[in-house]
Amino acid sequence: MIPVGTNLTRKNFPWSTISLLLANWVIYFSFLESDIYTEFWIWRYFYSTPGDPYPWQLITSMFLHANFWHLLGNSIFFWVFGIFVEDKLGWKVYLYLYFLTGVASNLIHGAMVGIFMREDLFIPSLGASGAISGIMGIYLYRCHYSKIKLLISFWLPIRIQVPAFIILSLWFLRDFMGGIDTIRGIHHNVAFWAHVGGFSAGLGTCKYLNYEIQARKEKLEFVAETTLEKSVGYGEGITAAETLLRTDPDNPEMHLKLARVKSRLRASAEGKDHYEKSIKLLLEKDPKKAMEAFIEFWNKYFSVLEPKYQLRLSRLLNKSLYFDLSAHTLQALIESNPSLDLYMEEAYLYLAKIYATQLERRDLARYVYDKFLEKFPKSKHREFVERLIHRTSTE
């Protein structure tokens, strides 16, 4: 069975995976037609030979492949799992762990040969499969909740989806049994202990780096993302999102998702609350998105936020040429908020300005200015407003 993808989505472009794949293919084609002198040189100094080792062989052997099919098989597995592991870990940690598990796989393979199959100590091994098994181990730890898309065979193009923990555990078991076979003297042309070693190194590394916390979080995010947008059966997603928000209450995306799902059928206090939190948090991180969320919120609840946030939002709406909406939200703010603080002063003045300049409703602007003078008789802007009223009345 050939893995062809997963049900996860990436956020970043997999530069490191592509670079490593490219390096492998370039090296393969560079030495494809090499003469016997070069072949001997590579075999002697760059393949990993446990019984007669050079330290650099632990790395160089990872970039050498026996034939086209060997490289193609490794490339498919690397692409399917590598891109998501890179996405989760970031390129620096990803590359570090790729080489770390690759070297560990070669060392474990050597040690197993040294303990159980000493007569094979001088048989060289090559290929990136140890490091790729390491990446698969990391994938199992971090993305155990995902599903792997499998092609039954090249000749039978039927795709099935299997939970990652089942298929990866089966692959690991197959490699382990293959390793036992080699100990029992059954010859295989595969370094099974390198696969087992790499996979175990990947899992062990994740454990040591406490990746289970992130894995749990990513699982909840995944469940929330995949189920909250469904029209039915989104209860699991709500639970996941609420659990996530308990540990990370400042996650605007999750608040927004939860707000949408809780406001889907009818307006609710919970939905409104999540919208408000999401918009407030987004205002700091991504004002444009905050404005979009606010439009959704307004359409559903016809309500405004506290003056401090609402003023920013109304300004954003105005800048984005939503003049009417900006004016309506300020109007709603003025009507709903009886307090007479500086924010409210600003709300009056800004609303009047929109009426006067963008909507060309001088009557309404005059009305707002009058109200302003009435409400804030001691404002420092009073003189300025009076001058404006005087100028408009003489015009």
Partner 1 sequence: MIWKAILQYKQIIFSRYTHLFLGLLALYGISSIITYTTPLDKITENLKRYCYTGYGMKMPLFSQNIREIEYYREKYKEQLGVLTKGLFNYDKKDEAQAYFVANGFLYDSWQENENHSYLLAKIIEKGVHKRESPEEVRFDYLILGEKKIVPFSEYVKGPGTGAFVSAGEKAIYLYKDSLEPLLRWYFESLWVTESKASYHFYGDPLSYSLYRDLREICEDIFIKRHYMNKQSAQQTFIEEGFRVFLPTLLSMGARMAVDRNSNFPSDYQYLRACLTGLSLNPNHTMFYLLKTERLYTFSPMARKGWKAFSQRLDLTSLDKITLEQISEMSQSIFNSLEDSP
The structure tokens listed for 365 are: 């602007």
Q: Footprint of partner 1 on this chain (CB under 8 A)?
A: 36-37, 40, 44, 50-53, 55, 58, 93, 96, 100, 103-104, 107-108, 110-111, 113-115, 121-122, 205, 208-210
Cβ of residue 21: shortest distance to partner 1, in angstroms? 24
Cβ of residue 106: shortest distance to partner 1, in angstroms? 8
Residues in contact with 306: Cβ distance below 8 Å, sequence separation at least 6, in sequence order: none
Separation CA 58–CA 49 (nearest Å) = 9
Separation CA 194–CA 51 (nearest Å) = 15
Cβ of residue 100: shortest distance to partner 1, in angstroms? 6
Q: Quick one: 37 or 69, whose CB is closer to partner 1?
A: 37
Q: Quick one: 58 or 167, whose CB is closer to partner 1?
A: 58
Q: Quick one: 126 or 349, whose CB is closer to partner 1?
A: 126
CB atoms within 10 A of CB 289: 16
Separation CA 315–CA 310 (nearest Å) = 8
Measured in degrees and rounded to the nearest 5, phi and psi for residue 56 equal: -70, -20
Q: Quick one: 180 or 364, whose CB is closer to partner 1?
A: 180
Q: Quick one: 37 or 154, whose CB is closer to partner 1?
A: 37
Cβ of residue 202: shortest distance to partner 1, in angstroms? 11
Residues in contact with 182: Cβ distance below 8 Å, sequence separation at least 6, in sequence order: 116, 117, 188, 192, 193
The structure tokens listed for 366 are: 């005059």
Residues in contact with 393: Cβ distance below 8 Å, sequence separation at least 6, in sequence order: 366
**What is the DSSP code string of 275-316?**
HHHHHHHHHHH-HHHHHHHHHHHHHHH-----HHHHHHHHHH
Sheet with 147-151: list strands edge to edge.
2-6, 147-151, 159-163
Q: Quick one: 100 or 364, whose CB is closer to partner 1?
A: 100
The structure tokens listed for 160 are: 């099935």
Q: Cα(first)–Cα(last) distance of the chain, in Å? A: 82
Comparing CA positions, the residue from 290, 311, 293, 312 lying closest to residue 301 is: 293
Cβ of residue 108: shortest distance to partner 1, in angstroms? 7
Cβ of residue 61: shortest distance to partner 1, in angstroms? 14
Q: Quick one: 54 or 384, whose CB is closer to partner 1?
A: 54
Cβ of residue 179: shortest distance to partner 1, in angstroms? 16
Cβ of residue 178: shortest distance to partner 1, in angstroms? 20
Separation CA 377–CA 41 (nearest Å) = 92
Measured in degrees and rounded to the nearest 5, phi and psi for residue 382 equal: -55, -50
Q: Quick one: 103 or 135, whose CB is closer to partner 1?
A: 103
Q: How many CA atoms lie within 13 A of 103 on its CB side?
A: 12
Q: Quick one: 103 or 344, whose CB is closer to partner 1?
A: 103
Q: Quick one: 114 or 235, whose CB is closer to partner 1?
A: 114
Cβ of residue 110: shortest distance to partner 1, in angstroms? 5
Cβ of residue 159: shortest distance to partner 1, in angstroms? 37
Comparing CA positions, the residue from 285, 140, 310 lying closest to residue 211 is: 140
- Cα 266 to its chain centre, rounded Å, is 31
- Cα 84 to its chain centre, rounded Å, is 9
